[in-house]
Structures are given as structure tokens and as C-alpha cells.
Amino acid sequence: MNREGLSPISPTFAEYTVLQVENGQANVSFRRIKYSLQDLKKAVLDSAMPYKHQWLKDWRQV
């Protein structure tokens, strides 16, 4: 729960940044990759992770 008493919503994508430097010039790219909510749920439910259902309730497919 956050400070407002609401559960966070975790979208089904991973975000990362790529930093490239060529000839002294920096270039930053922000990237996002979607993944399947069903694949995430299966991996979590097949794991030994505690409180699985509590953790999964905040995930949303985007």
C-alpha cells in the first residue's frame, strides 16, 4: 500500500535505459518491453514465493 492507502498498480512492461557514447557524444534512449500477465502469473504461482496471491493482485495488463 502507498501513503494514500491504495495498492500500487504494476503494469506488465519492463523499462530500461540505453546509454551510447560515440565520438564523445552521449545518446540516451528510454525503452519499454511488454510481457504477458498470464506468463507472469504462471511463473509466480509455480514458484516458492510467499504471499503470491497478495503480490499478484496489483498487476495489470497494459
Q: Where are the domains of the chain?
A: 10-60
- DSSP lists the bridge partners of residue 32 as 15
Phi, psi of 22 (to 5 degrees): -130, 125
The pLDDT of residue 32 is 95
Provide the 10 A C-beta neighbour count for residue 10: 15
pLDDT in tens, 1-59: 556 666 667 889 999 999 999 999 999 999 999 999 999 999 999 999 999 999 998 88
- Going by the DSSP 8-state scheme, the letter that residue 59 receives in this structure is E
**Whole-angstrom distance, CA of residue 28 vs CA of residue 16:** 11
In which band, very low, low, confident or very high, does the pLDDT at 60 lie, cut at 50, 70 and 90?
confident
